[in-house]
Chain A
Amino acid sequence: MIVKAEGGLLSHTILVVDDDARNLELLTETLTAEGYQVQTASRGEEALARVEEVGPDVVLLDVSMPGEDGIEVCRKLHEAPETAPIPVLLMTSQRRREVRLEAIAAGARDFLLKPLDVADLRIRVRNATEMKRLYDQSEERYRKISELEGLRDSLVHMIVHDLRTPLTAISGNLQLMEMALEDRLDSEMREALDGCTSGTRSIMRMVQSILDVSKIESETLELDLADHHLLDLLEEACSALGPLASRVRTQEDPPGAGVKARADSALVERVIVNLLTNALEYSPEEHAVVARVSLGDGVARVTVSDKGPGIPEEFLGQIFEKFGQVSGTRRIRKASAGLGLAFCRLAVEAHGGQIGVESTEGEGSTFWFELPLQGPP
């Protein structure tokens, strides 16, 4: 696009295509007088080359030309993604309805009847350039938003990544303190230390989830697949919970079934840890959280049930979305526990599996996921 020096107005480029030299001349004169930059072509093939060359904002196209006719050129422009947004105005002396229908099917935006009425020409070209201007504007905005999104993701990623070293220092020192003071802690000190430890663990889980989500989204995550007993993964996940694990009851249905699936153990463990942590957080302390492994139809199924407040029905669809909790109210934010569930969904889907939740308000929730026994397809 060219900016006119004097008025600062945007000057649009119009490509006029007509095999009649007098018509070309008339159109060029009229449109130039209106302040447009005019380019011309006198045949269909030439028109396509000129479009590529000058990138016009609007194309005025005569229907009947020797060689490739206007309809054909219009169709080609409409079908190519890079030229599809350019409005094409077909000019024809044909008043038959079929011609107009054919032109619509070929992607024309408007018609001009020949012989041309100059007032009519002006207003239709102005509408077409305005359409193109709005299109360009929204494209530009979209590009800027995508750029900002990219920056936001990079920034989040950088911050989170940089948190890992200080977090290692905090958790390491807390553990060393705990080991050194083991017998000398009174109950108040013990509670304080446990509080620090569990807070640190939950930050570490958040950091891990954010990194995992971005890794899965960037599609660079390669699954480290092997056959695993799901019950083993469940037990591993429990041991990662520390003292909280005492409130979890694990079981296999039927007992001793030895359900195995081809999976990435580290990822699946983290999915289970996320589900258990949520369940423990929302369940009253006197109730156990029940985690169950069973065999479905070609899938291994894991369920985690709690006796928490349940999730209001209107939020069920959103809780596995990456920003489901951000756009929601306080209630849904409480119900979705950050990015954890978004990570769970991505990790399960990376295995070719499914994840879901059944919940009744006031009674509790059961989160479940299923992994294909043979691994991802």
Chain B
Amino acid sequence: VETKLARILCIDDEPTIRSVVRRALTGAGHQVEEAEDGEVGVSLFEASEFDLVICDLIMPKKEGIQTILEIREQAPSVPILAVSGGLEFGGEAIDRFGPLVDAKALGADAALEKPFDVRELLETVDSLLVPDSPEE
């Protein structure tokens, strides 16, 4: 399957995760910018063009769902991939994929649960970049 090379924004407060995402995607030929929280993410997105956004959900400063909402407001069609541990700890919500389900309802196009597989990440990114073309 041919995928166009893309500029991707990765928003995650965890440097080790950003690093894995960056190297996986650069290895596949994409170009990756990193943001360590939602605030930085939104301002990077405003300042530059991106083909895809990967966004963690539980982050300091601006949490993921708010970040997704703000990006979605600016760019109704940019594909957004929500990534999360899938659980809120300490609150009453321990439902499976809860925040990820919310994220999808609020504008993310796909969701990945941590720990995720690099191949799974690459496949999901590919499918988001060529959403309409039939698979070969």
Contacts and interface: CB of A to CB of B under 8 A. Distances in A.
Interface of A: 157-158, 161, 164-169, 171-173, 175-176, 179-180, 204, 207, 211-212, 214-215, 218, 220-222
> Which 5 pairs, one residue from A and one from B, show the smallest C-beta to C-beta distance?
A172-B20, A169-B16, A168-B115, A175-B118, A220-B95
Contact of A165 (B85, B95, B118): B85
Given A164-B114, A165-B85, A211-B87, A173 B93 contact: no
A161 B20 CA distance: 19
A164 B83 CA distance: 12
Nearest to B115: A168
Given A157-B89, A175-B117, A176-B23, A165 B16 contact: yes
A158 B21 CA distance: 25
Contacts of B17: 165, 168-169, 172
A180 B85 CA distance: 27
A157 B23 CA distance: 30
30 contacts: A157-B94, A161-B89, A164-B114, A164-B115, A165-B14, A165-B16, A165-B17, A165-B85, A165-B114, A167-B114, A168-B16, A168-B116, A169-B14, A169-B19, A171-B115, A172-B17, A172-B20, A173-B20, A175-B24, A175-B119, A176-B27, A179-B27, A179-B118, A204-B115, A207-B115, A214-B94, A220-B93, A220-B96, A220-B98, A222-B95
A161 B87 contact: yes
Given A176-B118, A204-B115, A211-B87, A169 B93 contact: no
B24 to A, nearest CB: 6
A215 B95 contact: yes
Chain A CB within 10 A, most for which of B14, B20, B89: B20
A157 B116 CA distance: 19
B27 A180 contact: yes
Contacts of A204: 115
Given A161-B87, A164-B114, A169 B20 contact: yes
A39 B85 CA distance: 58
Contacts of A165: 14, 16-17, 85, 114
Nearest to B24: A176
A222 B95 CA distance: 7
What secondary structure prevails in chain A residues at the interface with B? helix
Interface in B108-136: 114-119
By size class, the interface of chain B is 20 to 34
B114 A168 contact: yes
A92 to B, nearest CB: 52
Contact of A171 (B85, B95, B98, B117): B117
Interface in B80-96: 85, 87, 89, 93-96
Given A168-B16, A215-B96, A222-B96, 18 more contacts: A161-B87, A164-B85, A164-B115, A165-B14, A165-B16, A167-B114, A168-B116, A171-B117, A172-B116, A173-B20, A176-B27, A179-B27, A179-B118, A207-B115, A214-B94, A215-B95, A220-B94, A221-B95
A120 B116 CA distance: 74
B10 to A, nearest CB: 13
Contacts of B20: 168-169, 172-173, 176
B16 A166 contact: yes
Interface string B1-30: 000000000000010110111011001000
Nearest to A204: B115
Contacts of A164: 85, 114-115
A175 B115 CA distance: 13
Contacts of B21: 172
B27 A167 contact: no
Nearest to B119: A175
Q: Which of B23, B89, B115 has the most CB of A within 10 A?
A: B115
Contact of B24 (A157, A161, A172, A221): A172
A77 to B, nearest CB: 36
A214 B95 CA distance: 10
Contacts of A211: 87
A220 B93 CA distance: 8
